[in-house]
Structure 1
Amino acid sequence: MDLTRLRLLVELRRLGTMTAVSEVTGMGTSAVSKHLAVLEREAGVRLLAPDGRRVRLTPAGRRLAEHAADILGRVEAARAEMAGEGPPVGRIDLVTFVSMTVPVVLPAMERLRQEHPGIEVRLIEHEPDQTLDLLLGGEADLGLVYEYSLVPRRIPEGITLSPVGSEPLFLAQSSAGGPSRATMTRERLRALADASWIANSRGSDEDELVRRMCASAGFRPRIRHRIDTLEAVSAVVAAGWGVGLLPKLAATPRRRGVVHTPLGELAGVRRIYLASRTGAWAWRPLRAVAHRIRLAARGVLDPLEEDPHSGDGAVVRR
């Protein structure tokens, strides 16, 4: 139904005559009558009934006028929100991954709730591949995704990235061999050629990173364990059953029996981005959530000095 016709119906209910509606809208009486006749056909019921030389609303007409007033009010509220008038309001379905939730996302959402109580955030936990699928399918509004600098991620058409930060990578080993905080070298890594490696079961990028890193030291790793829970990874490492690669956020807090050795250039860094559908960034609630996450990440992550998706650090269109 056309908004102009609904507005005329609301005015007729308020003013009572076609002439009065014509005066306040600047539309001729004949044009008003024709618009309302079209609205009747669209509604499929009689909206007007003769009343002497005038017309009156039928019960269906009065009911539609009530709906129309609500519809027009919502449209005006939406226009005001899109124009930046008034506080942002709406629900954001935010997809995050486990190591970002506690140190970054929760503090950010606490501040957001204080600043913008009209924004409701629903958290969903997934790895990047699933996050991108949810965004493309319209089942989520905003997502946190990551990639390894040695294994760049292909970003689908229609998705926009905005940089959040980066973090170094560590090798988690049993402390039985003695503590080692010095950055890993290829010679020391080569000593782990016979070790059992731990990787997750939710994506191939970690496997590829481990293989590339070990290949630079001259061997092919044996990936023996598939574990997704970070706490379980640390427990397996502490028991001496394997070694695993962990980003900084996942390596904190430190677990007794586990030593985290910096991998430096052997593994590169993990880069973290906010992702959304390209056209969604204009929505103020989404921008407010993204802004809070970036601010919270500043004290936790390193800046993304070189971003392959964007030379100037700006939002990237895909």
Structure 2
Amino acid sequence: MDTRRLRYLVELSHRGSMRLVAEALHVTTSTVSQQLALLAKEAGAALVEPDGRRVRLTPAGRRLAEHAVTILAAVDAARLDLAPDAEPAGTVRVAGFATAIRRALLPMVAELSRSHPRVRLLINEHEPAESYALLAADDVDLALTYAYNLAPVTFDASVDVVPLWTTSWGLGVPDDFAGPAAHDWIVNSRNTADETVVRALGALDGFEPRIAHRADSLELVQDLIVAGLGVGLLPALLPLQPGVHLLPLRSPDVTMQVYAVTRRGRAGWPPLATVLRLLRP
């Protein structure tokens, strides 16, 4: 139903005269009559009946007017909520990998609470493929994802992408490291990107990596390295456990780009726009 026609009906329920409605809304009386007639066709019921020289709402008209009050209030609230200059208010649902949550989301919680107390974060830890699926299903508003330079990603036209930061990666090895071909390799259990990188590095160095272990947690990857179970990729800025050494990777370098991904056209929603602004370095 046309919300403008609903507003005419609500005004008529208050004022009891099409002339007074026309004066209040700065239109002609014939416009009010025509719009109410069209609303009656949409509703499939008579909404107005004569009452002497005036008109009154029928029982169906009164019921629709009651609904219209709620509908118009919701529409007005939505307009305010979506206005570019509106005070941000709402729940932003985020899916992201653990490092991005720790590095980017958690440090902003205090600032968000102080400056925009009506914005709430719901955080879900997921690897990129899982996050993209949640975003496509509209189950989250923001996905924090990543891609390696040796395993690039192609983004769908249905999303908007903001690059956030880039991190160098190296090879985590144990004390008795005897060369990359001499050890088993540890890769991610929930994403295939780093396995793609590992196999590319092996091909460039003339060997095929033996993929033996899969772990999602970088802390667990280090535990496996210390236990002598293999070697694996680690970010350069990650604090290392005793017994783990990070060898730089050169020719080619290995870097990871982090992205903030939203559904196309959604980034202007004030709560989401606020979170995106705070995420940018």
Normalised by the size of structure 1, how large is the TM-score? 0.81
* 1:210 aligned residue: 198
Q: Is the 8 A contact 1:213 1:267 kept in 2?
A: no
State whether structure 2 residue 119 is matched by structure 1 residue 104.
Answer: no
State the one-letter code of the partner of 1:241.
Answer: L
Residues 270-279 or 124-133, more deviating: 124-133
State the one-letter code of the partner of 2:64.
Answer: L
* 2:11 aligned residue: 11
CA deviations 1:68-92 (Å, max 9, x no partner) are: 2332233233334433333012222
CA deviation after TM superposition for structure 1 residue 135, in Å: 1.9
* 1:85 aligned residue: 85
Q: Distance in 2 between matches of 1:196 and 1:85?
A: 55
* 2:278 aligned residue: 292
Q: Provide the secondary structure at the position in 2 that maps to 1:100.
A: helix
Q: Provide the secondary structure at the position in 2 that maps to 1:281.
A: coil
Q: Distance in 1 between matches of 2:269 and 2:225?
A: 44
* 1:177 aligned residue: 176
Q: Is the 8 A contact 2:83 2:270 kept in 1?
A: no
Q: Is the 8 A contact 1:109 1:292 kept in 2?
A: no
Residues 97-106 or 256-265, more deviating: 256-265
State the one-letter code of the partner of 2:176.
Answer: G
* 1:273 aligned residue: 259
In structure 2, relative to structure 1, the CA distance for the partners of 1:121 and 1:265 (3 Å cut) is farther
Q: Provide the secondary structure at the position in 2 that maps to 1:140.
A: coil
Q: Distance in 1 between matches of 2:5 and 2:154?
A: 48
Q: Distance in 2 between matches of 1:154 and 1:269?
A: 17
Q: Distance in 2 between matches of 1:107 and 1:265?
A: 34
Q: Distance in 2 between matches of 1:71 and 1:143?
A: 32
1:226 to 214, 238, 248: 214
CA deviation after TM superposition for structure 1 residue 207, in Å: 1.1
> Structure 2, unaligned stretches of length 5 or more?
none
Kindly tell me the number of residue pairs found equivalent between the two proteins: 281
Q: Distance in 1 between matches of 2:270 and 2:211?
A: 45
* 2:40 aligned residue: 40
Q: Distance in 2 between matches of 1:86 and 1:205?
A: 40
* 2:233 aligned residue: 245
In structure 2, relative to structure 1, the CA distance for the partners of 1:223 and 1:62 (3 Å cut) is same
Q: Distance in 1 between matches of 2:116 and 2:250?
A: 40
Q: Is the 8 A contact 2:86 2:270 kept in 1?
A: no
CA deviations 1:56-79 (Å, max 9, x no partner) are: 224443343233233223323333
CA deviations 1:277-318 (Å, max 9, x no partner) are: 221122222111111112xxx4xxxxxxxxxxxxxxxxxxxx
Q: Distance in 1 between matches of 2:236 and 2:71?
A: 50
* 1:51 aligned residue: 51
CA deviations 1:147-201 (Å, max 9, x no partner) are: 1112211212222211100111022222x338xxxxxxxxx8xx22120000113
Q: Distance in 2 between matches of 1:108 and 1:67?
A: 41
Among all aligned residue pairs of Structure 1 and Structure 2, give the percentage whose two residues are the same amino acid.
Answer: 41
State whether structure 2 residue 187 is matched by structure 1 residue 199.
Answer: yes
When the two chains are superposed, the root-mean-square deviation of aligned CA atoms in Å is 2.1
* 1:115 aligned residue: 115
Q: Distance in 2 between matches of 1:283 and 1:203?
A: 30
Q: Is the 8 A contact 2:170 2:254 kept in 1?
A: no
Q: Provide the secondary structure at the position in 2 that maps to 1:133.
A: helix
